Amino acid sequence: MDNRNDVREFLASRRARITPEQAGLPRYGGTRRVPGLRREEVALLAGVSPDYYIRLERGNLSGVSGTVLDAISKALRLDDAEHAHLHDLARTSNTTTRARRRPAPHVRPGVQRLIDAMTDAPAFIRNGRLDMLSANRLAYALYSPAFQTPARPVNLARFCFLDPQATVFYPDWQGAADQTVALLRTEAGRDPYDRDLSELVGELSTRSGEFRVRWAAHDVRLHLTGVKHFRHPVVGDLDLPFEALPLPADPGLTLTAYSAEPGTPSADGLRLLASWSTTVEPVDHR
């Protein structure tokens, strides 16, 4: 992954979506050559010189201060995820580290015991490239369609874009696909030299046009809480609120747990799923 290219395309794409009127700038007569703000207008809003901003948008974030990044974020109306992504891009933009493979991630026994104790809530551990590294019995039952392939660890991005079952499993497949790519793009901003992530992005870009279009959009997202929609082959539709908790003692790993609103059909479905999970063989996640 070329970090300078990512910086250039990210800033240009955010600039293109803001009109002068939205930014509080006058629109002068004549045809504008760009769909959104000009570079000079972003520079004016951020309080930097046009030449300096042009240098930044060309991908050269060398020596840029956090104050300037914050000003550019404000000028471009970046949300929290985009703001953090810009800082990540700046942090890694001039890193000379070669692409490298990460050590095989390890789920500590204490973490495994914790999610195993969550008998009424599907819970699993994932890394930044969306490998499902471990889960409790109810999470394996929930994601059983993804575990029908022999590849381990199951990768949720690969499942979403390359497995035909995903379009049934996710009733809002378009939303799930958008979210999946935004999470991978966010992770790429944090560490553009992760070879395993680069290879995954390359594979998905080659094999899925839907992935390529979304990857080119440079959208990023924080994925900490929300509601996920599933259509499980055994228990049917489930609307499950989730909480995603980064594990401070295990950098790069996230614990995701689902629940169901009491008294809803999803709560009934989750209880049925728990009952069904006891009748099937435990999943080999390795």
pLDDT digits (tens, 9 = 90+) for 131-140: 999 999 999 9
126 plus 264 within the same structural domain? yes
168 plus 265 within the same structural domain? yes
Q: What is the spatial distance between Cα 37 and Cα 75, in angstroms, rounded to a whole number?
A: 10
Average pLDDT over residues 245-274: 96
Predicted local confidence at residue 234, as pLDDT: 95
Q: Which amino acid is located at 103 in the chain?
A: P
Q: What is the spatial distance between Cα 52 and Cα 280, in angstroms, rounded to a whole number?
A: 61
Q: For position 131, which CATH number holds?
A: 3.30.450.180
pLDDT of 194 above 70 = yes
Q: For position 34, which CATH number holds?
A: 1.10.260.40
Report residue 278's pLDDT band, with 50, 70 and 90 as the boundaries.
Answer: confident
Report residue 191's pLDDT band, with 50, 70 and 90 as the boundaries.
Answer: confident
Position 103 in a domain: no
Average pLDDT over residues 223-228: 93
Predicted local confidence at residue 246, as pLDDT: 95
**Which domain covers residue 55, as residue numbers?**
3-92
217 plus 128 within the same structural domain? yes
The tally of CA atoms less than 13 A away on the side-chain side of residue 78 is: 29
113 plus 86 within the same structural domain? no
Position 23 in a domain: yes
Q: At what angle do helices 80-92 and 3-16 cross, to 10 degrees?
A: 150
71 plus 123 within the same structural domain? no
Predicted local confidence at residue 23, as pLDDT: 85
264 plus 149 within the same structural domain? yes
DSSP state at residue 249: T
pLDDT digits (tens, 9 = 90+) for 44-88: 999 999 999 999 999 999 889 999 999 999 999 999 999 999 999
pTM for the full model?
Answer: 0.90
pLDDT of 102 above 90 = no
pLDDT of 113 above 80 = yes
122 plus 210 within the same structural domain? yes
pLDDT of 141 above 80 = yes
Q: What is the spatial distance between Cα 161 and Cα 170, in angstroms, rounded to a whole number?
A: 11
Report residue 207's pLDDT band, with 50, 70 and 90 as the boundaries.
Answer: very high
Report residue 7's pLDDT band, with 50, 70 and 90 as the boundaries.
Answer: very high
Total domains in the chain come to 2
Predicted local confidence at residue 2, as pLDDT: 57
Average pLDDT over residues 203-212: 97
Predicted local confidence at residue 21, as pLDDT: 86
The three-state secondary structure class of 242 is strand
Predicted local confidence at residue 24, as pLDDT: 84
- Which distant-in-sequence residues (6+ apart) come within 8 Å of 244 by Cβ? 223, 224, 225, 254, 255, 256
266 plus 134 within the same structural domain? yes
- Which distant-in-sequence residues (6+ apart) come within 8 Å of 12 by Cβ? 57
